[in-house]
Amino acid sequence: MRGDAVRGHLDALLLAVLESGPLHGYAIITAVQERSGGALELRKGTIYPALNRLERLGLLRGDWESVGERRRRRYELTDAGRRSLARERSEWDEFITAIGSVLNPLPRRAT
């Protein structure tokens, strides 16, 4: 799938995969790829700036965890992040309904 297909929806994708609980960056990338059946592959250079921005906006909370001798940043949704995800889902539903009605119009009934 083209990379520009994700543009504009990245925040919603990240918030959605974090809805089930905290994850570190690589696990987020893997979750998006798995949920999309391999159609969406996010790059580290895309995801980490987005995670940092969402954290600055108060939609995510990040903390450091140690795994062996390595430390990695783990992210989770805040209450504001959950509200934002709900809005994103509502807007997505409206969007796909509008686009769907143009791409696949219902047949007109004869009058």
What digits encode the pLDDT tens for the residues 24-71? 999 999 999 999 999 998 888 889 999 999 999 999 999 998 888 889
> How far is CA 67 from each of CA 63, 70, 71, 107, rounded to the nearest angstrom?
13, 5, 6, 58
Percentage of the chain lying above the pLDDT 90 cut? 74
Percentage of the chain lying above the pLDDT 70 cut? 94
Query: In the chain, count of helices (H) and strands (E)?
Result: 4, 3
Q: How far apart are CA 15 and CA 99, in angstroms?
A: 23
Strand ranges in the chain using DSSP code E only, listed in sequence order: 23-24, 60-67, 70-77
Q: Which pTM does this prediction carry?
A: 0.85
Beta bridge partners of 73: 64
